[in-house]
Structure 1
Amino acid sequence: MKLSKEMRGFQDRIGHQFARPELLVRALTHASISSPTRSDNQRLEFLGDRVLGLVMATALLEDDKSASEGQLAPRFNAMVRKEACADVAREIDLGEVLKLGRSEMMSGGRRKLALLGDAMEAVIAAVYKDAGFEAAQAMILRLWASRINAVEDDARDAKTSLQELVQAKRQKPPAYELVSRTGPDHQPVFTIVVRLDDGAEAQATAGSKRQAEQAAATALLSKLEQKQ
């Protein structure tokens, strides 16, 4: 199969040249234009979601080897949610090569979050099926690089969750206090305690104040959930 000029340009943007170009065409074909002779991208989307999840889980574990499951979970969710996939799709102009039925095209389908996010996952699966896991992993890490570096800013973190919880109970915001700072200047260790207006509190230690605050908030959230 010979790809169009637009499709070849898209290959350049994602950094992968397909040995089986029909996989790319399928990944970019929405259900609104599928037919008995033209498969849509839904099955690839299903697979791509799982490939993305494995790559992201591995990357986040490697990026922060001291992070707890409670810290990693919101970061992971921020990386794999449909909004993140759609944002990446916009950055590589995926919408320009998306194959849509007339009704979807007329209703702005090339800009729809769900369609872009689904197609991005399908493209991931297409690369995986074309060249294996390492090729898909390399593409994902390249396209998501800036997000992985800033993931704590994107994630719905424990501090945010704790603050929203106490606001719902009409309490004062959580108070974070530095209990101690130990260790040498190049490798400090911070201990933080977080307290609520009703007396509930939790303490945690980490290599930065921010990480210690997040860990303390996670610990307090866990305590509060156990009481419910």
Structure 2
Amino acid sequence: MSLRLESKVIIVTGGTSGMGAAFAKRAASEGATVLVGARDKERGNATVAAIRGEGGNALFVPTDVTVEEEVAHLVDVAVTEFGGLHGAFNNAGGGNSQGAIRDIDASFWSSVIDLNLTSVFYSLKYEIPAIVASGGGSIVNNASVVGVVGDAGAAAYAAAKHGVVGLTRSAALDAAREGVRVNALVTGLVNTPLWRGVTESNPDIARMIVDKQPTGRAADESEIAGFATFLLSDESPFINGAALAIDGALTAGY
């Protein structure tokens, strides 16, 4: 394994399972000190224990990304405990369908926007100055294929993820001259615990979804983690302000 992130301090939000946990483990294996920010203390400590068990360096910081002060604290811990911040994978998020727009409750709309978009704004607000002060670095925001296409029945989630793409591009322009790159992942179907739950509880629906994938499969979490690691490394210095599809050609058909 290479050490592309050696000596870098990296934050990952939503780092207790799925793509976030996979990235945290991959980043640590490539030399990074990883701060795992999430709400679930038990799973957060388990992720950190797994990293340390493999010889990596990690710390769990309880963080609700919808609370600005907690995001600020997460970044502050990186700076005060480890001397700076060099990158972040803003991965926290999630969404449920509530049907057509006319059926969406305002409280549901706000909760989805807060978790998937406002949280990324908070993260960028505090991460960018810390990374600038540390000499520059890279940020990756996890969007979704519904950040570039629509999805019937999931308007709030699609609006939030479209917002993440726009926010990413604007942040990249804001910070480009200060040595901070900001990119977004347009992720498709990924074999996360959430997806595995769908395959177990609704195998017919899961099979129908997989059949619609050009590659006929879901991505492995490690595939997302590997690409995010590349974007956070010094091997991608001219990739900035991009919404990068990692979706098995799904959006190529739109």
Same fold, TM exceeding 0.5? no
TM range (shorter): under 0.3
Structure with greater helix percent: 1
Q: TM-score, normalised by structure 1?
A: 0.24
Structure with greater strand percent: 2
